[in-house]
């Protein structure tokens, strides 16, 4: 019996993603924190730009965790649950759950292999930096 092969994030991919997100933040003139987790939510890489605030570092990690945990962008959550009070109020009290933009799942084809989270700018800027980092995977 042969075990199925599993795609994983390499250290080099993680470093390239962190660098690409930071590069995009510099172009936007913002200071961010970036976190990358594997498909189990384990932190694989983290960077906080010089001058970035402290709390967004935790938020970036939570965004990465949420994106990897559900396989959807964190910014998609609010629309899905805004009209469902039990979910809206329950989900936001779930440890590490984040429902605003800046977290993206990382896929290799159909395989969910991790998540990236960015925090420090506006929701749109954070998401822009996360998407720029995802382009590293598809190069």
Q: Report pLDDT digits (tens) over 85-99.
A: 888 778 777 889 898
Q: What is the dihedral of CA 7, 9, 11, 12, to 10 degrees?
A: 90
Residues in the chain: 139
pLDDT in tens, 10-68: 999 999 999 999 999 999 999 999 999 999 999 999 999 999 999 999 999 999 999 99
Rg (CA), the chain: 15
Q: Which residues contact 18 (CB under 8 A, 6 or more apart)?
A: 34, 36, 45, 46, 47, 133
Output the pLDDT for position 93: 76
pTM to 2 decimal places: 0.94
d(CA 72, CA 66): 8
Output the pLDDT for position 139: 58
């Amino acid at each position: 019996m042969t075990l199925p092969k599993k795609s994983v994030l390499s250290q080099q991919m993680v470093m390239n993603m962190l660098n690409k997100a930071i590069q995009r933040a510099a172009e936007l003139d913002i200071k961010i924190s970036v976190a990358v987790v594997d498909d189990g939510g384990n932190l694989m890489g983290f960077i906080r730009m010089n001058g970035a605030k402290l709390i967004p570092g935790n938020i970036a990690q939570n965004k990465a965790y949420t994106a990897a945990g559900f396989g959807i962008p964190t910014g998609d959550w609010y629309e899905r649950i805004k009209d469902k009070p039990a979910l809206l109020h329950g989900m936001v009290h779930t440890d590490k759950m984040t429902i605003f933009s800046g977290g993206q799942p990382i896929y290799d084809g159909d395989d969910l292999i991790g998540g990236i989270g960015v925090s420090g700018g506006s929701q749109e800027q954070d998401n822009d930096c996360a998407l720029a980092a995802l382009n590293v995977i598809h190069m």
